[in-house]
């Protein structure tokens, strides 16, 4: 869609289902940094990479040792690697271009979500959130894990959960914990079951600040915006909260240390809460006060201007879109299928949602053309109107009223080499090559598939022409050999079989010349031929060609004996 003819007053958010993607049973999705590739984890353990420009499959990552459903997929910063977590407790790091495994490690519990370290182009660290234990930092190279604290003790220091602190039924004393890296990965933000956001230095495994949430409800999701300026939390009280990040995007840990030094008069939990107020500030809250639905997979748009969340109600596929100020601008209603995951395109106003049936629906904007944007005096007509031209409308304009020439100096050199940086990807390293597209690899038909096609075609011909002799060539061409229409044709066919010929002989359509000669024979009386000791001669009007049979009818042979 051309930008000049788009109405600027239209909201930059999706409105309708453009199409859907179908391959296996997809469970989770993730865009690469540019939005050109879409990775989808399936229930059979495979990871499908879609080319989002052509909507075709670019690559399939499959391992015969992993057949458990995929729980999450995550791209590296420049798209060279993909981290996949599965329900069999495995974490696998893939090379996207080669389609090979780089590293694999097994955790003690199934990871619901795994995220690569965003600060490195070749990450070896990842953050995993297991089903019923604390988040862990995993070194994919060595397989070592570091458990992060999820709560505060009375002294104000972070503590990891102990296996002795369990309920009477043996279950863990808390629900699954959400966690995420900040923009450059020097801090980890953990949302626990007590309604607190812990700011953790994962290298030293130390809590540096805490932000309590009103209501103290369990935090189910926590995610940063693309630019790192806002933090989103989804709690069990059916409320989505947006926090403004007060720390600098780079060297956030250093700024956090300076905040700790200024709070020396405080100690323990009070000191951590005071530091937390300088890290995050509540910006807005979103909720549906009428239906009071729970939210699923909430996230930001690519530019951070919109907030989107899916309804967790069963049997409905609803997506709510708010602007950052807090106004509900759109409710997208899809098919009667539960929503399990969604992702907003990093650049365009496109949302992809995954249903319980395994389909990925692509929601795009329904653009309305605004042709009046070409000229301010352009008037759009709702219906045809008779136009009456002015008397001087097509008169030549005098020299004094001509358009003034532009002041552009044509001798100035124009720079066509320097590429301006896109503000969306301003933090990109120019020296690092980024993967935006994957080469298309055609998949030829296998011989087994071709044999099945030939066999099915032969059966089809055999059912249409029962009793007719068939061969492989006839089955491929969809033709059958009819019974001989004359004794001579039968003799020729049998002679071909005796000589071991395998080529099927077909009836040729007579040419116009042959038809004319046959018509003349019908009009003229037949001539009598005297018997002689020699064999009778056969007059044939068709040309013998290799691989074809001569079909001679009774009109072509006229033999009478006195």
326-384 confidence digits (pLDDT tens): 899 999 999 999 999 999 999 999 999 999 999 999 999 987 777 776 777 777 777 88
Q: pLDDT for 378-427, tens place per residue?
A: 777 778 888 888 887 777 765 545 555 666 777 888 888 876 666 666 66
Taking the alpha carbons of 549, 553, 558, 561 in that order, is the dihedral positive or negative?
positive
The neighbour count for residue 242, using CB atoms within 10 Å, is 21
Q: pLDDT for 93-104, tens place per residue?
A: 999 999 999 999
The pTM of the full predicted model, rounded to 2 decimals, is 0.70
How many alpha carbons fall within 13 Å on the CB side of residue 546? 0
pLDDT, mean of residues 308-326: 92
> Would 167 be classed as within a structural domain?
no
The count of domains in the chain is: 1
pLDDT, mean of residues 107-127: 91
> Would 295 be classed as within a structural domain?
no
pLDDT, mean of residues 106-133: 91
> Would 495 be classed as within a structural domain?
yes
- With 70 as the cut, is the pLDDT of residue 539 above it? no
pLDDT cut 70: percent of the chain above it: 67
pLDDT, mean of residues 273-277: 91
Q: How confident is the model at residue 118 (pLDDT cuts 50, 70, 90)?
A: very high
pLDDT of residue 290: 87
pLDDT of residue 431: 57
Residues 6+ apart with CB under 8 A from 159: 149, 151, 152, 153
Joined together, the tokens standing for residue 342 give 């969604």
Does 394 or 428 have the greater pLDDT score? 394
Specify burial of residue 250 (Cβ count, 10 A radius: 0-12, 13-18, 19+). middle
pLDDT of residue 263: 64
pLDDT of residue 13: 87
> Would 212 be classed as within a structural domain?
no
Q: pLDDT for 277-296, tens place per residue?
A: 999 999 999 998 888 899 99
Q: pLDDT for 295-307, tens place per residue?
A: 999 999 998 999 9
> Would 304 be classed as within a structural domain?
no
- With 70 as the cut, is the pLDDT of residue 233 above it? yes
Range of the domain at 507: 461-523
Q: pLDDT for 444-497, tens place per residue?
A: 655 554 554 444 444 433 444 444 333 333 343 334 334 433 433 433 443 433
- With 60 as the cut, is the pLDDT of residue 544 above it? no
> Would 466 be classed as within a structural domain?
yes
CA separation (Å) from 297 to 230, 257, 361?
16, 32, 15
pLDDT of residue 10: 57
CB 461 within 8 Å of CB 480: yes
pLDDT of residue 445: 58
């Amino acid at each position: 869609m051309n930008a000049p003819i788009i109405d600027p007053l239209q909201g930059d958010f999706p409105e309708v289902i453009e199409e859907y993607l179908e391959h296996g049973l997809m469970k989770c999705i993730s865009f690469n940094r540019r939005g050109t590739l879409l990775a989808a984890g399936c229930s059979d353990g495979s990871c499908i990479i879609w080319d989002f420009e052509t909507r075709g499959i670019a690559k399939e990552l499959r391992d015969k040792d992993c057949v458990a459903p995929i729980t999450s997929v995550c791209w590296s910063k420049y798209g060279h690697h993909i981290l996949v977590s599965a329900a069999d407790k495995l974490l696998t790091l893939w090379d996207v271009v080669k389609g090979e495994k780089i590293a694999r490690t097994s955790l003690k519990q199934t990871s619901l979500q795994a995220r690569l370290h965003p600060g490195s182009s070749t990450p070896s660290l990842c953050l995993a959130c297991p089903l019923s234990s604390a988040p862990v930092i995993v070194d994919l190279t060595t397989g070592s894990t570091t458990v992060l604290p999820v709560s505060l003790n009375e002294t104000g220091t972070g503590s990891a959960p102990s296996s002795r602190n369990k309920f009477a039924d043996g279950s863990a004393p808390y629900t699954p914990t959400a966690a995420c890296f900040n923009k450059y990965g020097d801090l980890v933000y953990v949302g626990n079951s007590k309604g607190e956001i812990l700011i953790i230095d994962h290298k030293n495994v130390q809590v540096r600040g805490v932000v309590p949430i009103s209501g103290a409800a369990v935090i189910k999701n926590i995610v940063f915006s693309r630019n790192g300026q806002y933090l989103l939390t989804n709690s069990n009280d059916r409320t989505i909260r947006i926090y403004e990040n007060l720390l600098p995007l780079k060297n956030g840990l250093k700024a956090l240390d300076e905040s700790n030094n200024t709070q020396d008069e405080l100690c323990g939990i009070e000191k951590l809460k005071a530091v937390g107020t300088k890290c995050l500030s509540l910006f807005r809250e979103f909720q549906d006060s009428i239906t009071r639905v729970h939210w699923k997979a909430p996230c930001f748009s690519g530019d951070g201007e919109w907030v989107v969340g899916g309804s967790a109600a069963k049997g409905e596929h609803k997506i709510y879109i708010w602007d950052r100020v807090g106004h509900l601008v759109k409710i997208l209603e899809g098919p009667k299928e539960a929503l399990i995951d969604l992702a907003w395109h990093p650049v365009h106003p496109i949302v992809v949602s995954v249903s319980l049936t395994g389909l990925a629906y692509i929601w795009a904007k329904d653009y309305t053309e605004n042709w009046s944007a070409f000229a301010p005096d352009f008037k759009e007509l709702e219906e045809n109107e008779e136009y009456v031209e002015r008397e001087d409308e097509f008169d030549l304009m005098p020299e004094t009223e001509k358009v003034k020439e532009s002041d552009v100096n044509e001798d100035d050199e124009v720079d066509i080499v320097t590429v301006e940086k896109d503000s969306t990807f301003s933090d990109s390293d120019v020296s690092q090559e980024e993967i935006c597209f994957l080469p298309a690899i055609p998949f030829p038909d296998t011989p087994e598939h071709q044999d099945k096609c030939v066999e099915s075609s032969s059966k089809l011909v055999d059912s249409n022409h029962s009793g007719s002799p068939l061969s492989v060539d006839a089955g491929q061409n969809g033709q059958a050999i009819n019974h001989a229409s004359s004794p001579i044709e039968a003799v020729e066919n049998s002679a071909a079989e005796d000589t071991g010929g395998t080529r099927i002989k077909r009836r040729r359509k007579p040419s116009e010349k042959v038809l004319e000669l046959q018509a003349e024979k019908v009009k003229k009386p037949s001539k009598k031929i005297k018997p002689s000791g020699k064999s009778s001669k056969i007059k044939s009007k068709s040309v013998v060609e290799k691989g074809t049979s001569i079909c001679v009818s009774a009109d072509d042979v006229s033999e009478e004996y006195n």
